[in-house]
Amino acid sequence: MLRSKTCGELRLSDANTTVTLAGWVQTTRDKGGVLWIDLRDRYGITQLLLEDGQTAPELFTTARSLGREFVVQATGTVIERKSKNPNIPTGEIELKVTALTVLNPAKLPPFLIDDDTDGGDDLRMKYRYLDLRRNPVRRNLELRHRMAQQTRIYMDGQGFIEVETPVLIKSTPEGARDFVVPSRMNPGEFYALPQSPQTFKQLLMVSGFDRYYQIVKCFRDEDLRADRQPEFTQIDCEMSFVEQEDVLNMFEGLVRHLFKSVKGIDLAEVPRMTYADAMKLYGSDKPDTRFDMKFVELKGTFDTVDLTSGKGFGVFDSAELVVGINAPGCAHYTRKQMDELTDWVKRPQIGAKGLIYVRYNEDGTLKSSVDKFYSEEDLQKWAVQFGAKPGDLMLIISGDSNKARKQLNELRLEMGNRLGLRDPNVFSTLWVLDFPLLEYGEEEARWFAMHHPFTSPKPEDIPLLESDLGAVRANAYDLVINGTEVGGGSIRIFNRDLQARMFSILGFSDEEAKSQFGFLMDAFEYGAPPHGGLAFGFDRLCSLFGGSDSIRDFIAFPKNNSGRDVMIDSPSEISDKQLDELKIATTVPAK
């Protein structure tokens, strides 16, 4: 080794020993004939010392030539520091240098390698290898490593076997768009990269593997919204001879283990809520339950007593749903603030037509933006419904049920932000259960699987497959943490006929179903056990644990929003020879 110790391990007990360190020059200070160098590696920082009259002059010459990020090797004697630095573990000692070698010089980095850097996003992506030197970024990847380690410890302990499933598989039309790979040996044919190992893990259950997991790369060729990546990592799991309850318990156990082992947090039992309740109470299937502010209906679809109609306010009279939230302690909002909030919900991304408010003043009076139509007595009834107290502000949206709920969900999250109720270091978990099996795509005029085509309907709802497709509930479940879906899964269909029926509902011809998924349906005829499973979004889980909104910060070499790796400049054109060998041509007009 070019070192005998790392830059993070020397202590006062090492005093008077001779050691060799290697690392990067973080800073140099040259003052009154004394020169200090902070030498950095992954493990820490150690101070090097050179003193006039004590250190050989040629070492001074070398040391004075060092710039930031030079890679050097230093040998010397560990001594006690005169002025100690209590902020770092090596702060009691320094290294009195007797030999100093430049292993590699460094150009001035294009941005500061420091916790707070002056580099913009684009520059840091282009020089990702330098950004990765910064402590916060490196710590994110160390966290990711610990998350993976602890996941494996838990899964191994529960008897799961990690099995690698193939990356070169087959393109299927259902779900998101596939990345494809032309096959040179089979001209005109393509592999696809997996969006998940779904069918393979089900086959492993048919094979009797009983408990499977894998931390695995998956791929989706989707238009990249902020913070989506074309390649992402899943913790993918499947179990045989289980019911929904077993899967929930197993993976609640995993999440609890991760919180305890990685963050030292004893997680409370994960509460459960049906999809229907989540939509009614939060307007979302992934509610942020770090704060309350549940939806309150003044007129609606769930047996709500109508407290709004017939008072001459046409907007509410014609609305399918009148629904609001009570923002605690916000009665002080000024007219200007209300106008700004109204504009916020009217932005195209939210799309509300307007925002009605009722201020519950500290003196007990009520003041609303619809005083023209509703008496103080009416508003009092609303306040009771909202459970509002003096000092609160009720915010009400109306219209089509689905749209109004979505809009109010956005407003609720925004109010949570404004009220500081969404602390990234507070964790609130939730199982959302009983998802609909199917959802109707108006545009395509057909039914789609809400999770995927392999999800089992609830046995008691199977008759509804013949009468009311929208009412069929699935044995499907999502794990939500802080308003983010971090995992989801289901009990699977394991019967050929039911699987065929499902494909038929989704608009597959018998032939299409057979050519795409015949192998799976065949497998169901050779002794398939009941099975179910779950997959966690590993990048997202890591970012949540790291208290960050950005999954990119937890991926070593992420791609930008155009799917480009700007560091290596990929994707790129390939040679005509490659195209010829693959028997493909691009149809892009020459530039």
Among 455, 273, 415, 239, smallest CA distance to 333 is for 415
Is residue 88 part of the contact set for its own copies (CB under 8 A)? no
Q: How far apart are CA 23 and CA 14, in angstroms?
A: 19
Nearer to its own copies, 180 or 450 (CB): 180
Q: How far is the CB of 517 from its own copies (least distance, A)?
A: 9
Site for its own copies in 101-120 (CB under 8 A): 103-107, 109
Stretch that binds its own copies, among 236-244, 267-275, 363-371, 461-469 (CB under 8 A): 236-244
Determine the interface stretch with its own copies among 85-93, 199-207, 354-362, 409-417 (rule: CB under 8 A): 199-207
Stretch that binds its own copies, among 238-246, 317-325, 380-388, 453-461 (CB under 8 A): 238-246
Instruction: List the interface residues with its own copies, window 321-340 (CB under 8 A).
Output: none
CB of 121 to its own copies, least distance (A): 17
Q: Tokens 């500061």 label which residue?
A: 112
Residue 589 φ/ψ, nearest 5 degrees? -60, 140
Smaller CB separation from its own copies, 189 or 320: 189
Binding flag, residue 41, its own copies (CB under 8 A): yes
| Per-residue DSSP letter, 334 | -
Three-state secondary structure along 179-236?
CEEECCCCCCCEEECCCCCHHHHHHHHHCCCCEEEEEEEEECCCCCCCCCCCEEEEEE
Kindly state whether residue 123 participates in binding its own copies, applying the rule CB under 8 A. no
Position 180 contacts its own copies (CB under 8 A)? yes
DSSP letter (8 states) at residue 143: H
**Pick from 15, 29, 30, 42: which binds its own copies (CB under 8 A)?**
42
**Could you tell me how many residues of this chain bind its own copies (CB under 8 A)?**
125
We find the least distance from the C-beta atom of residue 344 to its own copies, in angstroms, to be: 31
SS3 92: coil
User: Nearest-5° angle of CA 564, CA 214, CA 129?
Assistant: 35
Q: Which of 10, 19, 22, 397 binds its own copies (CB under 8 A)?
A: 22
Answer whether 156's CB lies under 8 Å from 163's CB.
Answer: no
**String of contacts with its own copies for each residue 133-172, x by CB under 8 A:** x----x--xx-xx--xx--x---x----xxxxxxxxxxx-
Nearer to its own copies, 126 or 422 (CB): 126
Is 507 a residue that touches its own copies (CB under 8 A)? no
Phi, psi of 63 (to 5 degrees): -60, -40
Q: Which of 81, 96, 128, 458 binds its own copies (CB under 8 A)?
A: 128
Alpha-carbon dihedral sign for residues 457, 461, 467, 469? negative
Q: Which residues inside 276-295 make contact with its own copies, applying CB under 8 A?
A: none
Which residue's entry shows tokens 């709004």? 308
Let me know: does 54 contact 33? Beta carbons within 8 Å. Answer: no
The angle subtended at Cα 256 by Cα 416 and Cα 241, nearest 5°, is: 120
Q: How far is the CB of 181 from its own copies (least distance, A)?
A: 5
Binding site residue list for L-aspartate: 174, 220, 451, 492
Report if residue 217 touches its own copies, rule: CB under 8 A.
Answer: yes
Is residue 515 part of the contact set for its own copies (CB under 8 A)?
A: yes
Position of tokens 């695995």? 216
Q: In the block, which residue shows the tokens 């925004």?
A: 414
Binding mask 539-578 for its own copies (x = CB under 8 A): ----------------xxx-x--xxxx-xxxxxxxxx--x
Contact between 447 and 439 under an 8 Å Cβ cutoff? The reply is yes
Least CB distance to its own copies at residue 584 (A): 5
d(CA 241, CA 498): 18
